[in-house]
Amino acid sequence: MEEHRVEMERTSVKRDKKGSSAELKVGQQFPLTIKRLGINGEGVGYFKKKVVFVPGALPGEEVVVEATKVHPKFSEGRVKKVRKRSEHRVKPPCIIYEQCGGCQLQHLAYEEQLKGKRDIVIQSLERHTRFDIGKMDIRPTIGMENPWHYRNKSQFQLGLSKNGKMVAGLYGLDSHRLVPITECIVQHPATNKTTQTVKQVLEDFGISVYNERKRTGDVRTIVTRVGFETGEVQVVLVTSKEDLPRKELIAEEIKKRLPEVTSVIQNVNKAKTSVVFGDDTRLLAGNMVIQEFLGEVSFELSARAFFQLNPIQTVKLYDEVKKAAKLTGREKVVDAYCGVGTIGMWIADGAKEIRGMDVIKESIDDANQNAKKHGIENARYVTGTAEHWLPKWTKEGFRPDVVIVDPPRTGCDRTFLDTIRQVKPKRFVYVSCNPSTLAKDLQYLAKDYHVEYIQPVDMFPQTAHVESVVSLKLK
């Protein structure tokens, strides 16, 4: 899923001090004991003191590996034979698990996945910080009761099978081959059903599939999103040009076959790119948005609005943010990188005042709208960066007691962290979706802030992703 992480992670593996005299060759087979799970869910072992990444191998297993790639600092290999199996190895329930690549850990029992994710956080701290990790409070990962069918959104590419039938699915692992998916078991059942029915409607109307190489054809991608609490479904047809033949009829037919669909949208993406959405979004039938609830708070979700993909775990995640903020009703809180204001609204009842900022104007409009709709009078949201607003507000006499940040995978901007060190809020709550960038940022803040605890949360069961909530206190 997150291929771009791989190189970043792997190149940061520390080089063996002495260097190894016997280099591995591609195709060479050798025995390996797997020590731990890597950041992408692969097994990690050491051959002649150099790290070897082996997808599909599990900690504690003894395997015979064939080298597939040899780099100066690490190697990659595939399992040829398992000599000693892990007692935690299970049969993946998904029939296309190995071809698809969307999940990385279905072959590992769920309780062990949770332990492995905590260990991924620890590995990142070992690699990127100088903390005494043995003394840190790194809590057990918060998991799900039912770690399946949790994703509220799917984005399936369209293609043609050998016999010319339309198929919807994902590109296979490290390839440009479309793997047809009729039922994804980490998706909410409504998204699976919707995708298959919409595909059938497009076929019935004789709609063509976009061909990337030739730049011909109509529809590129079917995106579906379901409101877990409301049951409303949104369908987005991503097309390669503005004109989609008989689009109104298609939209009506989708709604007729699927009465739960309350929003049918066309998004035009003419670019030669792997990015799913273009900038041009049009309503074909129903409403522009679908409704969703987190706890008591409702949200209107437009086609391109960011919303957490696992609503059940999001509630647990935001509760942890609230816990880490330690609010008493008297605090001034800043929600940096606030998006549509989800976190701010979740904690508003425990704070004196909430201010949030984001660089995307549409998100800020939504955030102010959401706050108004819920009668949250102590929250205001502005467009721009935290680096601009925090010093300005401090000068004006608004000094935050707590700053919360939930940045993208790249972590926090350095200038933002410098601003935090300058403004010095008493508490800093960091929500992270990438343990590596989190570890680097924590090290950067270490002069000024003490890490009270790290709480990993499993937002994406069966994958190697792990989210963390970190509670930091001013020294």
441 with 405: CB under 8 angstroms? no
The tokens describing 98, both together, are 């190995």
304 with 268: CB under 8 angstroms? no
| Number of other CB atoms surrounding residue 70 within 10 Å | 17
C-alpha 12/C-alpha 258 separation (Å) is 49
Burial of 170-196, coded b for 16+ CB within 10 Å and e otherwise, reads bbbbeeeebbbbeebbbbbebbbbbbe
CA atoms within 13 A on the CB side of 79: 20
321 with 315: CB under 8 angstroms? no
Q: Is there a catalytic annotation at residue 103?
A: no
C-alpha 241/C-alpha 264 separation (Å) is 17
The tokens describing 381, both together, are 């949201």
Which of 349, 355, 351, 385 shows the shortest CA–CA distance to 367? 355
- Name residue, tokens 């009829």: 249
The DSSP string of 284-324 is EEE-S-EEEEETTEEEEE-TT----S-HHHHHHHHHHHHHH
- Of the residues 103, 184, 412, 433, only one is catalytic, namely 433
456 with 141: CB under 8 angstroms? yes
Tally: H helices and E strands in the chain = 11, 21
Q: How far is CA 54 from CA 58, 97, 104, 248, in A?
A: 9, 16, 12, 49
φ, ψ of residue 37 in degrees (nearest 5)? -90, 135
In the chain, the N- to C-terminal Cα span, in Å, equals: 38
Angle at 239 between CA 233 and CA 242, to 5 degrees: 115
If phi > 0 it is left, if psi is from -120 to 50 it is alpha, else beta; for residue 51 that is beta
φ, ψ of residue 416 in degrees (nearest 5)? -65, -45
C-alpha 32/C-alpha 16 separation (Å) is 17
Instruction: Supply the residues annotated as catalytic.
Output: 433
